[in-house]
């Protein structure tokens, strides 16, 4: 289970920091946030199969990002546990059930001016078949060398994927 401890106090002189900790694994992630901004919270699953990872092409159900590539995931509902939310999104969009480990993040603003903080979780693929929802038209397994060749839905997601995968890939 992942918990948000909220914004840190005035001890932080430059920017507030959102601290998240995973109780089960005792992992801690600190995310610097610009002062006085409200964020919507989203989550993405970086499903790995060896050196490759799963990318989904968004269908035209939503004009924002139609035809572009993204990781599986979505928004966190009000009062929803973060661990439950990422598993729900992964299951809804791909049919996969897996344990997720928080490892990276990125922020972006939408065309309508909403600010988003997106948490990225690493998921180890277990070989189950991928079953896409109507939100996506296709999927593919890609390596890091292919990432920059795809039209991506979110600015900043490529850097967050690289950060999540680290120097191994």
pTM of this structure: 0.76
Q: How many CA atoms lie within 13 A of 61 on its CB side?
A: 8
pLDDT tens profile 125-165? 999 999 999 999 999 999 999 999 999 998 889 999 998 88
What pLDDT was estimated at residue 108? Answer: 85
Residues 6+ apart with CB under 8 A from 35: 15, 16
Q: Which residues pair with 49 in a beta bridge?
A: 52
What pLDDT was estimated at residue 78? Answer: 85
What pLDDT was estimated at residue 115? Answer: 86
What pLDDT was estimated at residue 19? Answer: 52
pLDDT tens profile 69-119? 999 999 888 888 999 999 999 999 999 998 889 888 888 888 788 888 899
pLDDT tens profile 3-41? 333 333 333 334 444 555 444 444 555 566 555 567 888
Q: Domains plus CATH for the chain?
A: 38-168 (3.90.79.10)
């Amino acid at each position: 289970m992942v918990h948000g401890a909220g914004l840190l106090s005035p001890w932080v002189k430059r920017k507030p920091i959102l601290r998240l900790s995973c109780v089960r694994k005792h992992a801690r992630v600190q995310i610097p946030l610009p002062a006085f901004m409200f964020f919507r919270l989203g989550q993405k699953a970086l499903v790995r199969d060896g050196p490759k990872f799963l990318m989904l092409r968004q269908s035209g159900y939503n004009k924002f990002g139609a035809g572009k590539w993204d990781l599986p995931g979505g928004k966190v509902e009000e009062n929803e546990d973060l661990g439950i939310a990422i598993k729900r999104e992964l299951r809804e969009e791909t049919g996969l059930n897996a344990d997720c480990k928080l490892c990276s993040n990125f922020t972006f603003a939408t065309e309508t001016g909403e600010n988003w903080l997106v948490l990225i979780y690493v998921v180890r693929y277990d070989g189950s078949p991928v079953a896409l929802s109507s939100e996506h038209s296709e999927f593919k397994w890609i390596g890091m060398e292919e990432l920059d060749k795809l039209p991506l839905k979110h600015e900043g997601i490529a850097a967050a994927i690289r950060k999540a995968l680290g120097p191994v890939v």
